Amino acid sequence: MPTNARDRLLDAAEDLFYAQGTRATGVEQILETSGVGRASFYRHFASKDELVLAYLERRRGHWDAVFTPLVRARGGHPLDVFDVLAERLEAVGYRGCTFVNTLLELPDPSDPAHRLAVEQKETMRAFFADLLAEHGYRDDDGSLARKLLMLYDGASVTGARERSPRAAHEAREVAEVLLTAAPRTGA
Amino acid sequence: MPTNARDRLLDAAEDLFYAQGTRATGVEQILETSGVGRASFYRHFASKDELVLAYLERRRGHWDAVFTPLVRARGGHPLDVFDVLAERLEAVGYRGCTFVNTLLELPDPSDPAHRLAVEQKETMRAFFADLLAEHGYRDDDGSLARKLLMLYDGASVTGARERSPRAAHEAREVAEVLLTAAPRTGA
DNA sequence: CGCAGATGGAACCGATCGGTTCCGTTCCAG
DNA sequence: CTGGAACGGAACCGATCGGTTCCATCTGCG
């Protein structure tokens, strides 16, 4: 039974938190952007921190509902992740991976937002591991999946800095070299 | 003729800005940590923003004066960068690359702090390019140097998240594969 | 029609933000 | 010894922060 105001708040929060960071975005600005009254805000969220968490959970849902299906639609090869990332880098206003940005902006490991971001990164690593296994790449110690995630994070940061999709293309090239040298299942 | 207060302010700013981020650190906390009076602060810095800039310039100087000599001392091979990075990741309180953190925390491209961080990243890229050339690696389009920097950034972010030097070791392995496949000068 | 729930506006709160001002002290050089 | 520069402490400023409260309005449903 979410009312309209809640959705508008989350829409505004998603835009502003992502573009400016969570600390840099005040409640006031979210109210102005969403057109929601101050009272209504606190009827739907106990605090700004809870809105931040709801924002992160929404982005996590976006990963499950949009990002991974796009990778699957391309065939689900580990390299496809970097092609989907490249498309995102081309979008105006790309500003890096939400979860990398959040865990760097809120570095306290006991912060629920930090923890959620770390959990999401673990989900991404597991996704790489699944794709590798499904395509016959052996990764007994898990290092290959971690390296691909590290490449993904490096491309996200570089893309946010250069505001160009080149980083994703070059990350894909690195990943390609990595996979060429990787052992195959049953070999 | 910098007085003692200025140095103490920069010492405190370096610790706090790096550990918590610049927005999360108030002037008040810097005054408490440094033991400097509020008036003295504004005698040395026109604003908090200028202290942030001075902090970044100090870190940039640290790169020139400490980081790159450590790499040179190991032989100046491109892979040596990752070994020096690994040592840093082992230090308690490691929280990622100052300049990556800053350009993500202050995403406005016209922000002087953001610009300084971007400039420093360009310096790092050029450093990789120099090391590559000095050790006989061809990199006509500069993509190899950019990829190494991307690996460095990925390892920094991952190291900040995992609080372990493993990311640097794995980044070095990726770089090694990359260099093995790279063309050599005169070939 | 009339009621109830959801809403937006605005006033208000204490706390904190970055920044200014004044004053008393310390310390070193002339 | 004396003057001035540098300093620390504290009061103070306006602005903004996150958060609370009250009220008028709108809307949909019985």
Domain boundaries, chain A: 1-45, 53-180
B170 → closest Cβ in A96, A150, A155: A150
For an interface test with A, the pick among B158, B169, B179 (most A C-beta atoms closer than 10 Å) comes out as B158
What ranges make up the beta strands (E) of B65-121? none
For an interface test with B, the pick among A15, A81, A147 (most B C-beta atoms closer than 10 Å) comes out as A147
Task: State the fold for domain A53-180.
Answer: Tetracycline Repressor; domain 2 (1.10.357)
How does pLDDT run across B94-136, given as a tens digit for each residue?
999 999 999 999 999 999 999 999 999 999 999 999 999 999 9
Length of chain A: 187
Measured CA to C1', the nucleotide nearest A1 is C6
**For the domain with range B1-45, which CATH number is right: 3.30.70.260, 3.40.50.620, 3.90.800.10, 1.10.10.60?**
1.10.10.60
The spacing between the Cα labelled CA in A32 and the C1' in D28, in angstroms, equals: 26
pTM listed for this prediction: 0.96
What's the confidence (pLDDT) of residue A3? 66
Per-residue pLDDT tens listing for chain A (187 residues)? 346 899 999 999 999 999 999 999 999 999 999 999 999 999 999 999 999 999 999 999 999 999 999 999 999 999 999 999 999 999 999 999 999 999 999 999 999 999 999 999 999 999 999 999 999 999 999 999 999 999 999 999 999 999 999 999 999 999 999 999 999 987 6
User: Does pLDDT of B187 surpass 70?
Assistant: no
Residue with the bigger pLDDT between A158 and B2: it is: A158
What's the confidence (pLDDT) of residue B1? 41
Q: Which residue of B has its CA nearest to A94?
A: B107
Distances in Å between the Cα of B129 and the Cα atoms of A165, B90, B142 are 21, 26, 7
Residues of A in contact with B143 (CB under 8 A): 170, 173
Residue B136 structure tokens = 């006989």
Distances in Å between the Cα of B173 and the Cα atoms of A72, A106, B34, B105 are 28, 30, 41, 29
Contacts of B109 by beta carbon, 8 Å cutoff, 6+ apart = B115, B118
Interaxial angle between packed helices A112-134 and A48-62, expressed in degrees from 0 to 180 and rounded to the nearest 10: 10
- Class assignment of domain B49-180? mainly alpha
**Helix ranges, A35-186 (H):** 38-44, 48-62, 68-73, 80-90, 98-105, 112-134, 143-162, 166-180
- Number of A to B CB contacts under 8 A, please give it: 112
Is there a contact between B23 and A23 if contact means CB atoms under 8 Å apart? yes
